[in-house]
Structure formats: C-alpha cells, structure tokens
Structure 1
Amino acid sequence: MRSVPSYALDADRREPVSYFEPGGPPRQGLADICIPAAPDAGNHLAPKLRLTSLALGCSTNKELCARFAQCNPLTLFIPQNAYKWLSGKATPRASSVYEDWARVLGKPFTAPFLAYASFEEFQALVSKHFALPQTALDGIRVEAGLPPAPPSHAPAQLSPGLVQRGKGWLEGEYLALSPAWASTERGRLIVGMASIAADDQGDLQIRYTENLFGRQVAMRGALVSDGRTAQSALTCSYTQRLFFLALNVPTPPANLVGGILAGAAIHDSDARASACRILLLRSAPGLSESLAARMGYIDAVADALPAEFAALGYRTTGPMPALAAGILDYLGADAASGICEAAPRSLAPLERDIDRLAIG
C-alpha cells in the first residue's frame, strides 16, 4: 500500500484530501498520485513564497495574504501563519494551502508541484510566466543560501506565454461601468459592454462598445497582459481615434476588473482629452443580447445597480448594498473627482503668454 504524501493530509482530519487544478474540476485524490518529494522542497518553502510575492507585486505579507483570500475567503494563508511560513519557522500541514497557492498563481501551477518542487524548479516555471527583476531575484536566492542566478546574455524579450499571462481568467463578457464623459450626461454612469477573447494565434483581443445617443460605437484592440496589468490601444470604429485602456489583472475568477479608460470625448466640439476609472463586471455565459440591451446611461445611485447585477446573473441579496456603494465610490461618479479632462481652450491664455516669450 502506497503511503499518502504528508502534504495531502488535512491537519485536523488527517485524511487524504482531493485538490483542484486552477480553473478546472476536482482531480483525483492525492493518494492516487505518486510524486517524489525533492529533498530541499520543505527547506525552500520560505523563498518560494517570497518569489511568489515578487511575481505578484506584493510588497508586504499582508498583500500576499489578500491575494490568497481573493481566491478562497476561508484560506489558511492568514498573517499569523504567513509570518511563520515566510520566516521558515514552520510549513503548512493542510493541503488546502497549496491548493489556494496554485489558484493564486494560476495555470500551469498545481498543488503537488508547489509542495514538492525545489526552489530551482519553482523559479524556472515562475520565470516563464512572470517578469522578475534580476536584483530582487538574486536577493531571494542569497537569503535561501543559493548562488545568484547566472546573468542572461540573450536580448530581453517577453515570451508569448509571459505577454498573455492571465488570459485564461480574463476571457469572457463583461458589463462596463464608468462616469459619463458627455457634458449633457455629467454626473451619471455610462453602461457599456466588453468582450475579451483569444484570436486564432492565441493572443487576447478586447472589444468595448458603448451606446452613444442611440448609436453603437465599438472599439477594438489587442490586450497585452503580463499577469499583473493588462493594456490595450483601442481603435474607435466611428472616429478612428485611439482610446487607451489600462487594467489591473485580478486573481481568478476575475468577476470584477478595474482600471483606467482614456481618450477624447466623441460627441464634443472641443474633443476634450479625458480619462476616468472603469469597472468590468463579469457576466454569466450566454447573456450577450441581454448585455447589449442594457447599454446606455443610468443614474449614479446605489439603487440603480442591483438591476444591472441581476441581468448579469448575480444574486442581489446579502452584501449588495455595500457593493453598490463601494462601486460608486470607486468610480467617483461626480464630475469633480470622476473625470480628469483637458479642454484645448483651457490652455489658450498660457499659449498666448509663452508665445510672447518664444525666441525669434
């Protein structure tokens, strides 16, 4: 009878526990998986966690704990435990910690790999999917008693896997909420629709659509992600102007994606350069027609948001009031804080003054 790896034993029940591959269904029990443990895997838990923090851009243990909590609100990766594990004073006894860790990093990371991989093996896989500063990486290696990684003489290039990091959980359809740029709708929210999908080459593409005064205006562009951020230069099909989208990439399941939308107001004689926050709310599958029907303007009040969430397939009970209030606060829907804009005429006095000082 094969022994069950100690990693697979729950600390309280001492029973084999099944694990989940990120984004996938439950896999077979770990008693059925034979994975030899690397001799130094346990000794290198702390540097592997520090490398995880570096890859995810977490500057404190609290931030790393928050990333785990996003994937599993009941995670055992809490500040008290994180301190012990990151200081090398203890190792997790519950398999759920490794499962949550795998969800935080996403595919192709799995719980058994995280439990048994040496630091070298872990670093090699992380480096394929995240951009790691060489100096910070060397510092982690020195703390772990390992020699600095040899410098690479190859040109610094992002591999396709790195550029598209996070695409597995960004793909989908979203309802988009942002402050209205139109002066006639100032103080309200505009409801748009966004769709993120991979093209035939596996590269992410995003389409963002708004209904502006009865006309659907679509914008398209490639979406480039390094696992922490995602950016796109969107070309407007109506004006051919460019709009710029910068998103923060959340951890799975990415039901809420926030960022900044910048460009120039379309129906505006001054063509004001404008920017605002934007939120993408993930929709349940198969609701494209329902999303398209909801595009337009709504009042920036908490009572208007439950209907939008219901149309996306969400329940509107429990924390809905707090969520609605938080969304309005995040978007800053009032004109004073919600929109940053620069009208050409606002520079006119300064242009006259500098022209008087110009040489020749």
Structure 2
Amino acid sequence: MATPTEIAEKLRLTMRALGCSSLKDLCGRFRAVNASTYFDLQRSQKWLQGKAEPRFAEVYQDWAKVLALPQDGAWIATCSLEEFQAELVARFGPRTAPTRTPARASATLGVEIAGRYAAYSLAWSPHFAGRVLRASLQLNLARAGTIGAEYREDLPIGAAFFQGTAAIAGRTLHLPLHDVATGLPLFMSFALPGPPAAVLCGVQCGAALLSHSAEPMAGRILLVRLRGAPELRASNRYLAPGESVAADLAALGVVLPPGGEVLLQAALGGLDRVTTAEQTRLSEMFDPAFLAG
C-alpha cells in the first residue's frame, strides 16, 4: 500500500459525516463492523493528532466498511483530501462540505492570530481553588482559509487535549472545542484585536475536569502569543499559590512592564458556576409548579 495521506483530516471528516461527537463514538462504529479492529481509542488519538498513521491495512478496510464506501481501504489511505471529502459529500450530504470563510476573516486569522499561545485561567477544579491554570493553545491556518484550534491542559491526572475549528463573527473569535478522547465540550470566545494580536482576552464555559461534581463553569481566559516555537507541555501546570503570571511569562520570553501582574489578575476576574445546591433549590420550587400545571 502506498503512503497514507491526510489521515488526521480524513478522520475529522469521517466523524463529521457520521455525526460522532467524540473519538470514543467513532471507535464504537469500527467495533460494530469488526469486533477485533485495531482502531482503538489509544491508537486513534495519536492518528487524530497527526502523531502517527495506521500501519495495519485492516484499519483502512474497516474504515471503508464504516462509511459503506464502494472504494476499498487502500483508496481511503491514499486518495487526496479533496477526493475523500467529495465522496463523503456525495454520500452524506453537505455537512461534510468545506467550511467557507470570508476573505477578510481568512486574512485576519492567518496573518493576525495563527500561532502558539500560553493560556491562563483561574482553576475550575475545587482542589486548586484560587490558583491559575497555565495551559497551551495552538491556532493553525488550514485549508480553505479555516483555522484549526488545539488546546491542551496538563493536569495531575494526565493531559486533556481539545480540538476544534475556529469561527469569526465581526471582530470576535469563537472556538467550539471537544476533548478528542471523551467528546467533552469546551467553548471559548475572544475579542479579536488588530496586529500584532499579542494577547487575546476572552471567556470560556464548560465543566471542571478535575472535580468530584460536574458543575457548569464559566470564567475568563487570556491567550498570550509567543514568539518562536517554545515547548509548553513540560511546564503547563497549576501555578503555585501566589506564583506570578508575569514571572511565568518572563520565563517564556514575554517581559512585561512593572504593574503588569496587577492588570493580569484583574483581567482574569472571577469564576461563575452553577452549583448542585442552587439547581436543587430551583428544582424544588419549579418542579411542583410545572407538575401542577
């Protein structure tokens, strides 16, 4: 078999065509056609991240069965992304068609904001309350003027890796993200500054990953654009109590003027959450009224 091409993008298109909300869902589709498939969660995470490609021809044959294509697995592996997408559009409809981005939005995304960012937000985990979480986010200019987003948190229990495609509305940037392993959603929205777009201030909402309860959460998030390509995974972490965000940025090559820490802490603001107790109190009031009606 010839060298496989664009496997990560083809997997994303496959998930969109099949309506899979997570990689776990897609694994289930493969198991449905072959109980002993090599397409498992651990391997497919690496394939979706572009870190590796399937080495077994059986994976591509299972893939063809999952999509019920007339072509065989070798075609999936070696066809162009455009050919693969055209076949999916023909079979599954326009939801797999290319995303069209206005020319101005494409230029803005490509020139002004594509790059690597250090991401700072107040910890959602009750185990690290009051501390700042330093994560990392990459915005990549992709085909057809789209922007791919990859967000990573390195937690004491392991890494969480989110992916999605950016959307532009006026001078705002929106990132609908999903954890590649579980499908857990995370949404971010930012004010979109002009060049050089060294920092993006925004909000995010979702649920805490490191928590005994799944309470809806919302809060501020700051993205600081980094020059060059510094590796952030090794130093992504919850900052120590009282540790300076400005000092962490200085270690990454971003030196702020005196007073910068005060402005950063103010920009991070506070958290908002819907607690289980609040929901219970409201339900106790509204449920009887609803049932009585």
**What is the TM-score when the length of structure 1 is the normalising length?**
0.50
| 1:191 shift after superposition | 0.3
Which residue number corresponds to residue 45 of structure 2? none
Which residue number corresponds to residue 201 of structure 2? 258
Q: Distance in 2 between matches of 1:164 and 1:264?
A: 31
Which residue number corresponds to residue 313 of structure 1? 253
1:327 aligned partner, one-letter code: L
The counterpart of 1:285, out of the listed 203, 219, 228, is 228
The counterpart of 1:344, out of the listed 273, 276, 291, is 276
| 1:278 shift after superposition | 0.3
Matches within 5 A, 1:1-360: 160-164=102-106, 166-167=108-109, 168-287=111-230, 289=231, 291-299=232-240, 301=242, 304-315=244-255, 319=257, 321-332=258-269, 338-357=270-289, 358-359=291-292
Q: Distance in 1 between matches of 2:154 and 2:178?
A: 16
Runs ≥4 residues deviating over 6 A? none
Q: Percent same amino acid among aligned pairs?
A: 27
SS of 1:164's equivalent in the other structure is helix
Which residue number corresponds to residue 135 of structure 1? none
**Which stretches in structure 2 are left out of the alignment for 5+ residues?**
1-99
Q: Distance in 1 between matches of 2:292 and 2:181?
A: 41
Structure 1 window deviating more from structure 2 (228-237 vs 158-167): it is 158-167
CA distances 1:133-187 after superposition (whole Å, capped 9, x unpaired): xxxxxxxxxxxxxxxxxxxxxxxxx853144352111100000000000001000
Q: Distance in 1 between matches of 2:219 and 2:284?
A: 29
SS of 1:267's equivalent in the other structure is coil
Which residue number corresponds to residue 76 of structure 1? none
Q: Which has the larger radius of gyration?
A: 1
Q: Distance in 1 between matches of 2:184 and 2:177?
A: 8
1:162–1:227 CA contact under 8 A, matched in 2? no
1:342 aligned partner, one-letter code: V
Which residue number corresponds to residue 89 of structure 2? none
Q: Distance in 2 between matches of 1:314 and 1:354?
A: 51
1:208 aligned partner, one-letter code: Y
Q: Distance in 2 between matches of 1:160 and 1:297?
A: 38
2:133–2:239 CA contact under 8 A, matched in 1? yes
Q: Distance in 1 between matches of 2:162 and 2:218?
A: 16
1:165–1:227 CA contact under 8 A, matched in 2? no
Q: Distance in 2 between matches of 1:247 and 1:232?
A: 9
2:250 aligned partner, one-letter code: A
Q: Which has the higher contact order (CA 8 A, sep 6+)?
A: 2
1:282–1:312 CA contact under 8 A, matched in 2? no
**Which stretches in structure 1 are left out of the alignment for 5+ residues?**
1-157, 333-337
Residues 309 and 343 of structure 1: CA distance in aligned 2, closer, same or farther (over 3 Å): same
Q: Distance in 2 between matches of 1:309 and 1:349?
A: 43
